[in-house]
């Protein structure tokens, strides 16, 4: 298989390892989403994620990444991404983004969900729903022979059609495989039909980040946590996926993406 601009092309065995990693990540996120309740600390969630990943034979890939100190990122309210788990106890109404990853045999998975803790304000629930929907719109736009920015455009259009949300530009999705972050970048905005061609064996992490206000971000004093500059609430969802001749496989979704892609009339494929 040819390569374009340093994009890694995976064979079936490598994609199977990525699927194994993705399943562990998907399970961990499901466990954490169920455990997140008022009074639970983000550090407790982190410990749960690490045990789950290790019990299932995965290796936490955030831990130690450029010195990052935890297994998950837990980003509450105005924190968009890369929040470090700590003793903060979740409160009812918090908007919590949980980002998690692991590797299996050196092949990586990376995914994130945002949940409303207990009872969230309607505008926050809608923020979460629009962000989740935009991820599926982006994944549904990916076709063999299409281009990376078809995904970007679908994410942005989905959000813009649903209201006045900030669509972050400072942080983007990415290629994934033998490393967590690889070429190409996958922005959440822009025109369709640009960027690398989507080919079999490519794997990408799509991760829309949207806010109730500005798209401007700041990095906090811990040098990791990214927060909105205006303090507005934010949401973040992420899946890693690949395209096969029989359809997409969402590597970090427990059902391979079947339910999320079904409304688009797309059946998921199979890793050969």
Instruction: Map residues 81-110 to x or -, x wherever contact with Co ion holds by CB under 5 A.
Output: -----------------------------x
Q: Which of 28, 46, 62, 208 binds ligand MF3 (CB under 6 A)?
A: 62
Which residue from 64, 81, 260 is spatially nearest to 180, judged by alpha carbons?
64
Residue 226 within binding range of Co ion, rule CB under 5 A: no
Q: 């649903």: which residue's tokens? A: 162
Q: Give the footprint of ligand MF3 on residues 182-241 (CB under 6 A).
A: 238
Nearer to Co ion, 120 or 189 (CB): 189
Residue 58 CB burial class (10 angstroms; 0-12, 13-18, ≥19): buried
Q: Which of 52, 82, 153, 233 binds ligand MF3 (CB under 6 A)?
A: 82
CB of 189 to ligand MF3, least distance (A): 17
Q: Which of 18, 29, 139, 205 binds Co ion (CB under 5 A)?
A: 205
Nearer to ligand MF3, 61 or 149 (CB): 61
195: left (phi over 0), alpha (psi -120 to 50) or beta: left
Those residues whose C-beta lies under 8 Å from the C-beta of residue 134, and which sit 6 or more positions away, are 154, 155, 156, 158, 159, 188, 208, 210, 237
CB of 2 to ligand MF3, least distance (A): 26
Q: Which does 65 bind (CB under 5 to 8 A by kind): ligand MF3, Co ion, none?
A: ligand MF3
CB of 141 to ligand MF3, least distance (A): 20
Residue 78 within binding range of ligand MF3, rule CB under 6 A: no
Nearer to Co ion, 20 or 73 (CB): 73
Q: What distance in Å separates the CA atoms of residue 43 and residue 238, rounded to the nearest whole number? A: 21
Those residues whose C-beta lies under 8 Å from the C-beta of residue 49, and which sit 6 or more positions away, are 28, 31, 32, 60, 71, 72, 100
Nearer to ligand MF3, 62 or 269 (CB): 62
Q: What distance in Å separates the CA atoms of residue 240 and residue 252, rounded to the nearest whole number? A: 6
Q: What distance in Å separates the CA atoms of residue 170 and residue 8, rounded to the nearest whole number? A: 24
Q: Which does 36 bind (CB under 5 to 8 A by kind): ligand MF3, Co ion, none?
A: none
Task: Count Cα neighbours of 90 within 13 Å in the Cβ-side half-sphere.
Answer: 29
Q: Give the footprint of ligand MF3 on residues 106-135 (CB under 6 A).
A: 110, 112
Q: Which does 100 bind (CB under 5 to 8 A by kind): ligand MF3, Co ion, none?
A: none
In the beta sheet, which residues pair with residue 235?
210
Q: Which of 35, 41, 47, 65 binds ligand MF3 (CB under 6 A)?
A: 65
Measure CA 173 to chain center: 8
Residue 46 within binding range of Co ion, rule CB under 5 A: no
Q: What distance in Å separates the CA atoms of residue 87 and residue 125, rounded to the nearest whole number? A: 25
Which residue from 232, 213, 218 is spatially nearest to 77, judged by alpha carbons?
232
Q: Which residues bind Co ion (CB under 5 A)?
A: 110, 205
Residues of this chain that bind ligand MF3 (CB under 6 A): 62, 65, 68, 73, 82, 99, 110, 112, 238
């Amino acid at each position: 298989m040819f390569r374009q601009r340093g994009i890694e092309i995976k064979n079936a065995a490598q994609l199977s390892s990525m699927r194994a990693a993705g399943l562990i990540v998907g399970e961990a996120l499901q466990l954490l989403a169920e455990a997140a309740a008022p009074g639970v600390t983000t550090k407790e969630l982190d410990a749960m994620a690490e045990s789950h990943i290790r019990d299932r034979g995965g290796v936490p890939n955030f831990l130690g990444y450029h010195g990052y100190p935890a297994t998950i990122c837990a980003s509450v309210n105005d924190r968009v991404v890369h929040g470090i788990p700590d003793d903060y106890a979740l409160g009812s109404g918090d908007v919590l983004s949980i980002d998690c990853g692991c590797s299996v045999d050196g092949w990586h998975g990376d995914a994130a969900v945002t949940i409303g803790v207990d009872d969230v304000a309607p505008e926050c629930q809608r923020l979460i729903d629009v962000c989740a929907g935009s991820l599926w719109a982006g994944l549904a736009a990916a076709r063999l022979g299409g281009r990376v920015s078809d995904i970007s455009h679908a994410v942005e259009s989905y959000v813009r059609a649903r209201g006045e949300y900030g669509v972050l530009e400072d942080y983007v999705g990415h290629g994934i495989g033998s490393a967590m972050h690889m070429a190409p970048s996958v922005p959440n905005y822009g025109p369709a039909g640009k960027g690398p061609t989507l080919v079999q064996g490519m794997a990408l992490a799509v991760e829309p980040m949207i806010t109730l206000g500005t798209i401007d971000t700041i990095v906090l004093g811990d040098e990791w946590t990214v927060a909105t500059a205006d303090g507005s609430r934010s949401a973040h969802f992420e899946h890693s996926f690949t395209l096969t001749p029989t359809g997409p496989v969402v590597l970090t979704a427990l059902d391979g993406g079947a339910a999320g892609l079904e409304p688009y009339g797309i059946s998921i494929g199979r890793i050969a």
